[in-house]
Structure 1
Amino acid sequence: MRFGLLGTGPWADRTHGPALAAHEDVELVGVWGRRPDAAEAQAARLGTPPYADADALFAACDAVAVALPPDVQAPLAVRAAEAGCHLLLDKPVATTPEAAREVTAAVERAGVASVVFFTLHFSDVTARWLRERAGEDGWQVGRADWLSPVFGGGESPYAASPWRREKGALWDVGPHALSVLLPLLGAVAGVTAVRGGVGDTVHLVLRHESGASSTSTLSHSVTPSAAGVTAEVRGPAGVAALPSREEDPATAFAHAVDALLSAARSGTPHPYDVHFAETVTTVLHEAESQLPPA
């Protein structure tokens, strides 16, 4: 399948680009970025042409992979779908329900496949755990905490990201937390959000339609020694804790490419497509509406 890559930042450079270039069922036909010089450099590293015009890249592709800020990604995803391209998008797909709905509607109109890269669902160990837990009924309580030092003194390549500084951990790692809690505890009936702690730290309490409840603490502002990811669910089956993700993101992204190829060829929607991503955006937008300015 002919893929185009949209984006030239660290995530595209470390994850999307290498995975696409190495995939035996992918022809990487070009790179587009908002900065032409960066697109040229990225394309040279990947051995593919740079494109100055995104629509020209869409016309040359069967699918696009996007590694861009969410509110840049969403309108480009609409244009790519309208051009007949299958979509491999990043999370969150957008930061407003309206923009997320526009992406979903474009996918439905065009009849293209979509997959959104919720990393845990494409890394073997965590994906297996999530599938097994989803097959066990009656989870009553959940917890998912994502604590990183991106702004807390760690040497992160993402610390200079303008959209992460503007939107914080709620929007950057909140989708990961919801990608654990929603499949296991069910749709969200209500959310309460408060700021608390250092920097961009946010606490969520979710009430699920199943009757279950869950909590989440999200932060990019903890010190490196306090960083970590933990998640668990509790119910009649006992206590189940999310295992550590063992694969690097590029390997997980290759699995997401496989998922898009399968969805495109079979016509069977993937469970973590733009519809699920729209739900995640809706929940996070409601949470954000309850928070005072940072």
Structure 2
Amino acid sequence: MRIGLLGTGPWAEMAYAPALSAHTELDFAGVWGRRPEAAKALADKHGGLPVYEDADALFADVDAVAVALPPAVQAPLAVRAARAGCHLLLDKPLATDVEQGRAVVEAVTAAGVASVVFFTARFQPAVDAWITEHADGAGWFTARAQWLGSLFDGDSDSPFAASPWRREKGALWDVGPHALSVLLPVLGDVEKVAAAVRGPEDTVHLVLRHVGGASSTVTLSLTAPPAASGATAELYGRTGTTLLPASSDGAVSALVRAGDALLAAVRTGLPHPCDAAFALRVTEVLAAAEGQLTG
């Protein structure tokens, strides 16, 4: 399956382009970026791939596109790609605006194309197995999740620290999708954002009520001290407690599996659990939380 890449930033360079190049069943067929010189540099790094000045020309030449762009840029391009008949490998968050996210889902549905949204943890085998094992279990009473990063710590040398959309939207939208991608398939959809309060810097605390009757608390930050950073989730129920397993898998190997998932969705016609519709639901929950924080 021929696939093109939209985006030339750090995430495209560090994760998407290497994964597309490494995948044995995807033909990495070209690059489009908002900065033509960066697109050429990335394309040259991966074997002198074609560089497209026009995204629609890329859509016409491929079967699928992968998108490594800020959410406000990703969503409109995903709509155009779907309407052109391209299957979609998208990044989280799908959008930070519910209407933009809904437009993507509507375009995917109307075009009959497949979609997979890359929630990193969901494509790590140990985490995926843990979710599968515990999603079918009854009796979960409550859960807690913490996604704490030090991206905006003064000593951070991360290439993502200067990301304008992350600076604007903070941890709620950057790491919030990761936490929800783990909690929702186990506890059920969020019935209500019961509380959303601010902590230090961009830290936010959420209290969620799930349709199955369970509750969860979520703490998100990109300004945690480095020694305190990390991601964890723990479930509490009739059988005791269980902790989300750690994973040593990096983003590239996880993205290769996301490529596998997209191919499977195309071949079978069956939606992947992390499709655009699921990602829209994540956007809706985070938008509800943002509304409480700014209200």
TM-score by length of 2: 0.97
Q: CA deviation at 1:263?
A: 0.3
Q: CA deviation at 1:189?
A: 1.1
Q: CA deviation at 1:209?
A: 1.3
Measure the CA separation in 2 of the matches of 1:185 and 1:265: 30
Q: CA deviation at 1:177?
A: 0.5
Choose the corresponding residue for 1:195, options 195, 198, 207: 198
Q: Deviations over 1:186-233 (max 9, x none)?
A: 111111211112x10011000111111000100000121111111111
1:282 equivalent in alignment to 2:269 = no
Show the counterpart of 1:174.
176
Aligned-residue Cα RMSD (Å) equals: 1.0
Choose the corresponding residue for 2:271, options 250, 264, 269: 269
Show the counterpart of 1:18.
18
TM-score by length of 1: 0.98
- Give the letter for the 1:137 counterpart: A
Q: CA deviation at 1:135?
A: 2.1
Show the counterpart of 1:91.
92
Q: CA deviation at 1:121?
A: 1.0
Measure the CA separation in 1 of the matches of 2:280 and 2:22: 30
Show the counterpart of 1:123.
124
Percentage of identical aligned residues: 61
Measure the CA separation in 2 of the matches of 1:20 and 1:240: 34
- Give the letter for the 1:241 counterpart: L
Residue pair 1:136, 1:237 contacting (<8 A) in 2 also: no
User: 1:118-267 to 2 correspondence within 5 Å?
Assistant: 118-152=119-153, 153-191=155-193, 192-197=195-200, 199-267=201-269
- Give the letter for the 2:114 counterpart: A
- Give the letter for the 2:37 counterpart: D
- Give the letter for the 1:238 counterpart: G
Q: Deviations over 1:166-195 (max 9, x none)?
A: 000100000000011111111111112111
Measure the CA separation in 1 of the matches of 2:137 and 2:251: 28
Q: CA deviation at 1:154?
A: 2.3
User: Which 4+ residue blocks in structure 1 deviate beyond 4 angstroms?
Assistant: none
Measure the CA separation in 2 of the matches of 1:181 and 1:106: 27
Structure 2, unmatched stretches of 5+, are none
What SS class does the counterpart of residue 290 from structure 1 fall into? helix
Measure the CA separation in 2 of the matches of 1:128 and 1:12: 27
- Give the letter for the 1:7 counterpart: G
What SS class does the counterpart of residue 140 from structure 2 fall into? coil
Q: Deviations over 1:27-86 (max 9, x none)?
A: 111001111111111111112111111000000010000010001000000000000000
Measure the CA separation in 1 of the matches of 2:247 and 2:33: 30
Measure the CA separation in 1 of the matches of 2:23 and 2:186: 31
Measure the CA separation in 2 of the matches of 1:105 and 1:291: 28
- Give the letter for the 1:247 counterpart: D
- Give the letter for the 2:265 counterpart: A
